[in-house]
Amino acid sequence: MRLKAALMLLAGLLAATETIAADKTMIVLDASGSMWGQIDGRTKIDIARETLGTVLKSVPVGTELGLMVYGHREKGSCSDIELAVPPGAGTENAITAFVNGINPKGKTPLSQSVEQAADILKYTEEKATVVLVTDGLETCEADPCALASALEKKGVDFTTHVVGFGLTEDEGKQVACLAENTGGKYFQASDAAQLVAALTETVAEAPMAKPRQEEVAVAEPEPAPAVEFNAEFDSVLSEGGPSLGDNNEVAWQIYKAGADGKPTGDTVETQYKGQYSGNYPPGKYVAVVALQGASKREIPFEVKDGAVAKPFVNFDAGLLVVTPKRTPQDAEGDGEAAVQIVFGGDSTTGYGTTKQYVPAGEVTVNGTIGPTKVSETFAVKAGETLQHDLVIGSGTVLNKAVYAEGGPAVDSGEVFFEVVEAKKAIDGTRKSVAYNYGTGTKIDVPTGDLVLTAKLGSATGEVPISLKAGEMKEVVVNLNAGVLAISAPGGNFIEVLSATKDIQGNQKSMSYNYGTEWQDTLPPGDYVVRVKYEGDRAPKEGKATVKAGERAEITVQ
């Protein structure tokens, strides 16, 4: 028996010298709100989804990849960072699926994301690579250059590659240090083709690391155990149901049992499988088992010489698959819909088609697309896979604006588009429904009668709208405005006033600015430009006329 074990060990070690093991790589993806920006008429997030899906198909077998995402769950949060897919072999489909469900909305904590990725990869103990794809600069008061130097100093063999997606050359220089200070590369990706090339080089064609020579040294033969494995773990969804087998949503954490029978000390081992076998020294243990991060169980067991312990757990749960749709006829789930599944004392939120194991019993599902919300409650049976379509009746407005009827289009990221209710309150105001900034952006809206308003500078316009569920409509708002550009050499305060006075003799102030120059978008009409100066110098005024769709310039001196 000892000879057989020694031969098996030697064969395994010889095989290891012929095997090339993959480095661990973490893709860190920017999902901040700016990913809704467009390149060649397509949003950056759509380009990233398609590009990653293509590149990951060519990843060599055995490559250990993970995915970390930031800015996809909360607006204005610097802690919105999620380990979406733990690093491992064969994760390409899981990464693609998660990216397809992302809804960009938050800030850009890229430094903290890279640091967390390095920690997860155990960069102080093992070789580790991070590939950062960002379309923006750090917005959370961190120094990426200083971080890179610290990671390089502490890491065993740590490298960060940075892909600046849509960044300018100057912006790229501010994040390139993350790569340069760790021995990595910076890639400028201005379109889909360049993004494919960058990800192919850093992910699909990343060099594989061969095992070190000392790792294949022949070990001393060990006595064979009395049994091949002394612990066999298994789990099911329901009584009498099939084993969960290789299902990696089942997490086993093995602890030694304390005097009170509870888990104590550090974990002895962690496994992500529904069923597996292991060997442990004789003693009492506790297995803490969780299904998809919830439905936790504590299973005590004892390992004895010559015997096989068989820890077993019945989760008494089912698999719920929720597909959010704008209409019942939609063939696929809407990737921009947020789906919250509430079960027992837990809840989970995903985007697009969301899968979650839930305890048997009542489950509440909440769906959100922009301001449109729905909620449904129903029962899930143990052992079943329940496919549920969640219809969230919502339409989409594509925002456009022009300065004048048939006149020039407004191409500005400063236009404030807001959808409000058609009905006015008693004071004449309308309730806000949703909003966004920038021409060419979109707003998800409920069905029914609404009004799309647009504001740029001191000019506003509005258009009544009515959309059906699933309908996408381009709406153009006429601002009926022109641009007035003012130069006031030597001045320190510029104010634009209406030329017409009210009954009290007052002129309406339209806008103002401190300095020698000011530009505003104004409704057509006559205006007075008043300039004030420092010291005893008297104010001066000039007259200007603004026409819709035209630019007027005036110098007051």
Helix extents (H) in 155-255: 169-175, 177-180, 192-199
**In this structure, what token pair is assigned to residue 372?**
């449109």
Q: Which residues of 175-208 are buried (b: 16+ CB within 10 A; e: fewer)?
A: bbbbbbbbebbbbbbeebebbbebbbbbbbebee
For residue 230, CA distances in Å to 305, 313, 548 come to 8, 18, 84
Q: What is the pTM of this model?
A: 0.53
Least confident among 57-61, 316-320, 493-497: 57-61
Distance CA(552)–CA(483), nearest Å, equals 6
Name which residue leads in pLDDT, 222 or 419: 419
Q: Chain-wide mean pLDDT for the chain?
A: 89
505: left (phi over 0), alpha (psi -120 to 50) or beta: left
Is the pLDDT at 222 greater than 70, yes or no? no
- Band of residue 159 on the pLDDT scale cut at 50, 70, 90: very high
Q: Would you state the pLDDT for residue 39?
A: 87
| Token output for 435 | 């909003």
Token pair belonging to 129: 């690579």
Give the burial class of 538: count Cβ atoms within 10 A of its Cβ; 0-12 exposed, 13-18 middle, 19 or more buried. exposed
pLDDT at 303: 96
Dihedral sign for Cα atoms in the order 274, 352, 341, 380: negative
Which range has the worst mean pLDDT, 18-22, 50-54, 487-491, 518-522?
18-22
Mean pLDDT of 483-497: 97
Mean pLDDT of 155-179: 90
> Mean pLDDT, to the nearest integer, of 467-483?
95
pLDDT (average), residues 89-112: 90
Which residues, at least 6 apart from 451, have a Cβ–Cβ distance to it below 8 Å? 419, 420, 421, 422, 430, 462, 463, 464, 465
Q: Which pLDDT belongs to residue 471?
A: 93
CA-to-CA dists, residue 166 to 134, 174, 201, 490, angstroms: 8, 14, 18, 39
Instruction: Quote the CA–CA distance of 279 and 298 in Å, as a whole number.
Output: 19
Paired residues of 473 in beta bridges: 397
Q: What is the pLDDT of residue 17?
A: 34
Residues of the chain above pLDDT 90, percent: 69
| pLDDT given at position 192 | 83
Higher-pLDDT residue of 221, 326: 326
Model pLDDT, residue 15: 38
Q: What is the pLDDT of residues 125-143, one digit of tens each?
A: 889 999 999 998 999 988 9
pLDDT score recorded for residue 4:
38
Has residue 22 got a pLDDT over 80? Answer: no
Centre a 10 Å sphere on the Cβ of residue 277 and count the other Cβ atoms it contains: 15
pLDDT score at 40: 82
Q: Which two tokens stand for residue 7?
A: 């031969």
255, 270 in Cβ contact below 8 A? no
Query: What mean pLDDT is predicted for residues 2-16?
Result: 37
pLDDT(466) > 90: yes
pLDDT at 227: 63
pLDDT at 30: 93
Question: Tens digit of pLDDT for each residue in 265-279?
Answer: 999 999 999 999 999
Q: How many CB atoms lie within 10 A of CB 123?
A: 26
- The pLDDT tens digits of the residues spanning 176-209 come to 999 999 999 999 988 888 888 888 888 876 544 4
pLDDT in tens, 231-282: 999 999 999 999 999 999 999 999 999 999 999 999 999 999 999 999 999 9
Residues in contact with 493: Cβ distance below 8 Å, sequence separation at least 6, in sequence order: 512, 513, 514, 531, 532
Q: In this structure, what are the phi and psi dihedrals at residue 343, rounded to the nearest 5 degrees?
A: -145, 130
Who contacts 7 (Cβ-Cβ below 8 Å, separation ≥6)? Answer: none
Banded model confidence at residue 75, pLDDT cuts 50, 70, 90? confident
Query: Three-class SS string for 395-413?
Result: EEEEEEEECCCCCCECCCC
User: Greater confidence, 142 or 548?
Assistant: 548
| Max CA pair span of the chain | 109
Lowest mean pLDDT among 17-31, 313-327, 391-405, 445-459: 17-31
Least confident of 56-60, 530-534, 546-550: 56-60
Domains (range + CATH), the chain: 22-204 (3.40.50.410), 231-314 (2.60.40), 317-391 (2.60.40.1120), 394-478 (2.60.40.1120), 482-555 (2.60.40.1120)
> Over 90: is that where the pLDDT of 435 sits?
yes
To the nearest 10°, report the CA torsion of 539, 542, 548, 553. -100
Q: Average pLDDT for residues 165-172, to the nearest whole number?
A: 88
Range with the largest mean pLDDT of 136-140, 169-173, 418-422? 418-422
